[in-house]
Structure 1
């Protein structure tokens, strides 16, 4: 098992580390066993580490949590104490002119919260923190899935370049063989020109494929903010694939995934909001206490008072009903999200299984006969029994089959990444699987 050491501190839960380990050790693309770039090749482990360490989309949640921590501190505060000074009967007319009959009152006042409002506020703020953490989990899965898909894009493009180079080599060999027959007067001159054009087209295909690969590398590197990538290739076995789990098993796993957990946390947050609204039904008790100095009679006395609003529960009924309706709405949203995620899971599994079938059929039943057919047609052309057109047609069929194989393997991996993102679980049970088989 590989161990991960992040290059800079990143707040991630154990499930994130587990997901990273799964992607690094069981995802069928991975064959690298180091987090360094060797021979200018990037490993999936390095890609994930750099993305988690530098993704602004994920670091945003750190500041959101800091903001909520401030809200928790505010919510934990008790009502403030207020000090007041009141002066009466001064600077008037007649007997109350001047300050000889002034009354000076010094008071201290506050509010006694009833209905467990303090704990309700704290619970609501903490529920916000839990929801943000759940949202971070979902975004982390999305980021991991996206960086994996882009990694697979590059890996598949590398395989396509290899296929295009093989096609260029074959086109060059064909051109040389046709030239010999034309020079010997066994074939018309236009076949040489067609072979020359086919060779130029093959060279063009290689160049465009290489340019496409560089663009894909740029898209991969921007995931961690690198605009001038220093690597030129990625490591992995595109054709190492395993069968898919059943839809029933995947759906069971989906029910515990962060994609649905975030709706659970939203419901809990709203439940806290409902309790906070209920607490507001109980009126708070305002109190005042102090001392009064009466200059007119040269005496001092204590003053005190309490007040409480009436019918607060009736005035708060509308807000309470509103929050309960929102709570019920969130439950329906979770049910709707469950159905939508089930559909996405079903479609991703269908596409992946079809891609796996295509890979198996192409590898075992289509490409081997085409390779043999190409050898036979080539020999027949050299012997003068088949035309140039038949040779080129068979060669193109083989190239098309190889390209279809690459696209099917790419699709299987990418839909696998989608499934892992939806379920937050690997497609295989073990995390010590080695994938060393290479495609022929």
Structure 2
């Protein structure tokens, strides 16, 4: 009984020594980042915590709204969910990095089962030891810091992917709205072409115009129907592309709700570029540098050998006596001081610094290109709306009136009709390009342009 108490007491001392070596280091509080603030409250990420929870499901009806499309993608986009799981993986690795090394129990029995003096168990010796590694280089703390930086980087990756999904869904919704409007316009064109054909056919029967005019009207009507079918196919493709962002193979909605936004006042580029640090692809590099610095600290810490203290007892049967045992194991860093890994960690830190400069430079370049495209699209929309469309509409109405009064022939009406509807088509395209350009600029600055305009 006394021997057991001695072993337990020594074991507690060993464990206390191991814990004391870590408790003397005060861990600084974790720093909250934009990435953490965003992804910790994300529905898509929280869905991964409890995959059976269906309370946040978004039901799609025949008419899809823009907000429902965004919510559906955030909740059910497969790629975004994979990034959410990656955050959880890094959280688990951080927990593992904070754990103490396990103690080691070592038991030996000597001088038994032999011959001569060692025959039987009279001369046996029993040794029981309990050892604990003590991390002199603060490895556990530095491993935890490194794991924490890895978790923050996973958070930034998630945030970047979240914005990518939101931007992609926004642009897909804009493209679908564009296709829907183009299809509707082609239907209108077919109706106009049909009415014109009926009018000419009636005049042919009355002998007022030649059969050739009716043939030309028939050709124009057939062409309009072909264009309408092509527009319908483009609409179906746009629907499928939009639905794919939440993993749907067959779109459940039949139409979209909403209109393409008209150009608003665009803030100056100098003001827009001030927000580029909100882009997670840029903001993440500060955490990337912290992660490399933590890796360097850990590599340097591993160059300091950790000692192992042990304690136990030894029992000699031939003497009927017991004794306590204490020991310490210290690796001698004659050859391996982790110098190769330390140098590699320094090189990695330098590499990240140059990568950061390159990434920021590329982002500014992309922002300038997107901003110029935004300005050009806004200018085109304004010109089409204020000058070109009204003129084309007036010319078409005048041609119809003149044709009924006999002042113009059919070809002049047809030319005015083509001009009007081709201008409408270009206007819808320009309006969609403007809205997609807005989405691209907002992705690069991580901020809504309306928020900047309001400052």
Match for residue 220 of structure 2 among 187, 198, 218: 198
Higher relative contact order (CA 8 A, sep 6+): 1
Alignment partner, residue 44 of structure 1: 66
Shift of residue 222 of structure 1? 2.3
Alignment partner, residue 414 of structure 2: 392
Q: How far apart are the structure 2 equivalents of 1:18 and 1:190? A: 69
Q: Tell me if structure 2 keeps the 8 A contact 1:283–1:312.
A: no
Change (3 A) 1:16 1:75: closer
**Which consecutive residues of structure 1, in runs of 5 or more, have no partner in the other structure?**
1-11, 21-34, 433-440
- After TM superposition, the structure 1 stretch with the greater mean CA deviation from structure 2, 252-261 or 309-318, is 309-318
Q: How does 1:123-142 map to 2 (within 5 A)?
A: 123-142=145-164
Q: Deviations over 1:303-325 (max 9, x none)?
A: 22212112268531110010111
Q: How far apart are the structure 1 equivalents of 2:322 and 2:202? A: 126
Alignment partner, residue 172 of structure 1: 194
Whether 1:295 and 2:317 are equivalent positions in the alignment is yes
Alignment partner, residue 418 of structure 1: 440
Q: Tell me if structure 2 keeps the 8 A contact 1:291–1:303.
A: yes
Shift of residue 298 of structure 1? 2.7
Q: How far apart are the structure 1 equivalents of 2:130 and 2:223? A: 91
Q: How does 1:47-126 map to 2 (within 5 A)?
A: 47-126=69-148
Match for residue 248 of structure 1 among 242, 260, 270: 270
Change (3 A) 1:312 1:417: farther
Match for residue 285 of structure 1 among 293, 307, 320: 307
Change (3 A) 1:313 1:94: closer
Q: Tell me if structure 2 keeps the 8 A contact 1:127–1:269.
A: yes
Aligned residues: 406
Q: Tell me if structure 2 keeps the 8 A contact 1:281–1:313.
A: no
Q: How far apart are the structure 1 equivalents of 2:444 and 2:319? A: 81
Q: Tell me if structure 1 keeps the 8 A contact 2:87–2:158.
A: no
Relative to the length of structure 2, the TM-score reads 0.83
Alignment partner, residue 257 of structure 2: 235
Relative to the length of structure 1, the TM-score reads 0.85
Q: How far apart are the structure 2 equivalents of 1:175 and 1:268? A: 73
Whether 1:183 and 2:174 are equivalent positions in the alignment is no
Shift of residue 251 of structure 1? 1.7
Where 2:322 maps in the other structure, the secondary structure is strand
- After TM superposition, the structure 1 stretch with the greater mean CA deviation from structure 2, 352-361 or 304-313, is 304-313
Alignment partner, residue 161 of structure 1: 183
- After TM superposition, the structure 1 stretch with the greater mean CA deviation from structure 2, 68-77 or 334-343, is 68-77
Q: Tell me if structure 1 keeps the 8 A contact 2:131–2:308.
A: yes
Shift of residue 174 of structure 1? 2.0
Q: Tell me if structure 1 keeps the 8 A contact 2:280–2:446.
A: yes
Q: How far apart are the structure 1 equivalents of 2:335 and 2:292? A: 20
**Which consecutive residues of structure 2, in runs of 5 or more, have no partner in the other structure?**
1-34, 44-57
Q: Deviations over 1:152-172 (max 9, x none)?
A: 111111221232122222212
Change (3 A) 1:293 1:13: closer
Show structure 1 runs of 4+ deviating over 6 A. Answer: 16-20, 35-38
Match for residue 335 of structure 1 among 327, 352, 357: 357
Q: Tell me if structure 2 keeps the 8 A contact 1:280–1:313.
A: no
Where 2:278 maps in the other structure, the secondary structure is coil
Q: Tell me if structure 1 keeps the 8 A contact 2:442–2:448.
A: yes
